[in-house]
A and B are shown apart, each in its own frame.
Chain A
Amino acid sequence: MVPPPARASRDLAHLSDEALLSLVASSDDGALGELYDRFGGVAYGLALRILRDESLAQDAVQEAFLGVWRTADRFLAERAAARTWILTLVHRRAVDLVRREDRRRGEPLEGAPEPAARETVDEEAAVRFQRRVVQEALRQLTPEQREALELGYYGGLTQAELAEQLGQPLGTVKSRMFAGLGRLRELLGQAGLEESVSSS
């Protein structure tokens, strides 16, 4: 019943992320492995950025992919790309862990030291391209919007903690997050990130 791995991975490479998820929903671990190959690097980079600890970041990625395994059947009801759903699970796990461990850090992207991992030669060209597109879009936000998104998304802070740290009213923080995410979505849409991701 288990196909030879080389054969399977070559065939699975042609399937869309969404088709792979539906295979995962039928307990196909080969499909889970293929999704891990596609998103594991981005997931681990994100978890490392939030948690700043390799062992905790591995825990977050492991729990998130096991979450994909256990709940893939629910994905069909989600109005999201498979990539969005998977990265949302990874982020959620990392934030849960960072809050539990109280390792939260509040530096914005520019001020923070880069995590140890650098762009590696074997990093997929598609991932590098997407990173450039997202970074370029981030640069086009107002500094206040960017700060709110970065502290919120990478810092693991709650909106109330963020408001306190920034010395701004809660309402202001919420509006910056809302406007920032909305604008980011527009910019990414213009840059055609959707197409580049789904065809990669």
Chain B
Amino acid sequence: MSELHSLVAPYALDALDESDERSFEEHLALCERCREELAALREAAAALAYATPAAPPPPQLKQRILEQARSERPNIVPLRRPTAWRAPLGIAAAAAAAIALGLGLWSATRPASGNAFTHVLSQPGAKVSAMGRSGALAVAPDGRAALALSLPRAPSGKAYEAWVIQAGKARRAGLFDGGSETSIVGISGRVPAGAVVAVTVERAGGVDQPTRKPFVTSGATS
């Protein structure tokens, strides 16, 4: 265990002094293993917050936070949602749009409401994770899932193929061409907990097993 590697637990507990913290963060940028370990240990550290009694904050605190937040609202194109708010699907569309925004995919058009991605997002308990910088994966608690990706059109004779990878085994999960602003891809079959969704470039029509390293992969789903 390298000297820096051993700082992962104290870092997860916020128990480093400034200089150690800086060194560890520099190390973290280069060490995949530490990043994984930190994600796991952070989860346990944050659970410690529950071991001490929750306390009702004074009622005016919420107001203060929201007022300050509104006054700092960044100058971005607001999501128009005059009627959308009334339906859960509208919220989901706004969430999908928010993801697109966060990832810099947004332009003048809005994603059509009611697509596979917004449908998954509208399920209670649905989770969203990033697909690198290309977009996002949404997974519903029952395992139904969809991708929203911004990718250039696949080269002629090629297609993008999505995969659900679990325990080292890849299962075909959908073909698409890319090229549109945001490609919405419904994942065929279910995505079990702990699985990863990945995308490769394959020959048009698809293949049974990925022939290349995925260029974009989700984190493990939970």
User: Chain A residues in contact with chain B, CB under 8 A?
Assistant: 1, 3, 7-8, 11-12, 14-16, 18-19, 22-23, 25-29, 32-33, 36-37, 40-46, 48-49, 54, 58, 61-62, 65-66, 69-70, 72-73, 76-81, 83-84, 87-88, 90-92, 95, 109, 114-120, 122-124, 127, 130-131, 133-135, 137-138, 149-150, 152-154, 156-160, 162, 171, 173-174, 177-178, 180-182, 184-185, 188, 193-194, 198-199
Chain B 109-136, CB-CB to A under 8 Å as 1, else 0, gives 0000000000001001111111000001
User: Chain B residues in contact with chain A, CB under 8 A?
Assistant: 6-10, 12-17, 20, 35-36, 39-58, 61-62, 64-66, 68-70, 72-74, 76, 78-82, 85-86, 88, 91-92, 94-95, 97-99, 101-103, 121, 124-130, 136, 141, 219, 222
Which residues of chain B have C-beta atoms less than 8 A from A120's C-beta? 54-56
* A149 vs B41: C-alpha distance when bound (angstroms): 12
* A158 vs B98: C-alpha distance when bound (angstroms): 38
Chain A interface secondary structure, helix, strand, loop or mixed? helix
Q: Which of A45, A62, A134 contacts B47 (CB 8 A)?
A: A134
Which residues of chain B have C-beta atoms less than 8 A from A26's C-beta? 76, 79, 94, 97-98, 101-102
Given contacts A40-B62, A43-B49, A157-B15, contact A22 B130 (CB under 8 A): no
* A31 vs B7: C-alpha distance when bound (angstroms): 35
Q: Which of B40, B49, B62 contacts A185 (CB 8 A)?
A: B40
Given contacts A44-B56, A88-B42, A177-B15, contact A22 B98 (CB under 8 A): yes
Which residues of chain A have C-beta atoms less than 8 A from B91's C-beta? 11-12, 15, 23
B68 touches A14 (CB 8 A): no
B46 touches A83 (CB 8 A): yes
B136 touches A117 (CB 8 A): no
A134 touches B56 (CB 8 A): no
B44 touches A185 (CB 8 A): yes
Residue of B nearest to A158 (CB): B17
A27 touches B128 (CB 8 A): no
